[in-house]
Structure 1
Amino acid sequence: MSQANAAVMEMPKTQVWRAVCAREDLVLNSGVVALVGTAQVALFYVASIGGAPQVFAMDNRDPVTGVNVIGRGLIGSLGGDLVIASPLYKQHYRLKDGTCLEDAALRLRTWPVRLVGDVVEVNVG
């Protein structure tokens, strides 16, 4: 199965949006972590050149170590992709789909996320 198909399969099948925090709780170009149901979700609020900032939501658990630290990672760009670098062993994960650039076997779960006014919502459907 291709990485693209794997990403599609993990997307929620229904649209159930849950408010998780306010926009003011986010830190521009950094991560914060919210508890969404039983999952720790790292939220990244990233500045966009010439547009509004974007929000990304992904699993806070590092797949290499099992430790909840992804929200403390560094945001950057590699090969034109926005990435988060794990703070432990520095693997780079694409913010848009959670794939690891160094090891295709590693992946972070991602969730659709949106801003509705000043409320950050994650699709948990």
Structure 2
Amino acid sequence: MKAPTNWVPVCTVDDLVADSGIAVWTEDGPVSVFYLPNRLPALFAVSHTDPFSGSNVLARGITGDINGEPVVASPIYKQHFSLRTGRCLEDEGVQIKVYPALLDGNRIRLEVPVVQAAPVAA
């Protein structure tokens, strides 16, 4: 059974920069949103945390294309992560989280897990 999710607004189209990323905060943690206007789809969202350094930096990475795969290169150790799958191209055993993204009018929405409240002890 799939965990419950919610489509949450995280920014507007005006916040986006072509061929670049921005960092947003969600209940699931920091997320990088990338706008690549010359691709379809043009919106991608992945974890903002670089799994190799533990730093929240991926929105500052350089976007590109490796053999047709849209990627972001971590600004710290330069590993490339697929913006579609989250897979690290240099180490296939490492993957970052990917979030479905959609344009809703002027808002960008991401599908994130619903944070469940902890049960209250009696």
TM-score (norm 2): 0.85
Match of 1:80 among 51, 65, 68: 68
Q: Is 1:35 aligned with 2:25? A: yes
Seq. identity, %: 37
**Consecutive aligned runs of 4 or more in structure 1 exceeding 4 Å deviation:** 12-15
* Distance (whole Å) between structure 1 residues aligned to residue 56 and residue 20 of structure 2: 16
In structure 2, runs of 5+ residues without a counterpart are 114-122
2:78 aligned with 1:90, yes or no?
yes
RMSD between aligned alpha carbons?
1.6
Structure exhibiting the larger radius of gyration computed from Cα positions: 2
1:104 aligns with 2:92: yes
Q: SS in structure 1 opposite 2:72?
A: strand
Q: Deviations over 1:61-100 (max 9, x none)?
A: 0000100100100000001101000001110000001001
Structure 1 residue 38 displacement after superposition? 4.6
Q: Could you say which residue in structure 2 is the equivalent of 1:24?
A: 14
**What is aligned with 2:51?**
63
Is the CA contact (8 Å cut-off) linking 2:28 and 2:112 kept in structure 1?
no
In structure 2, give the amino acid aligned to 1:55.
L
Instruction: Indicate the structure with greater helix content.
Output: 1
Query: Number of aligned pairs?
Result: 112
**Equivalent residue for 2:119?**
none
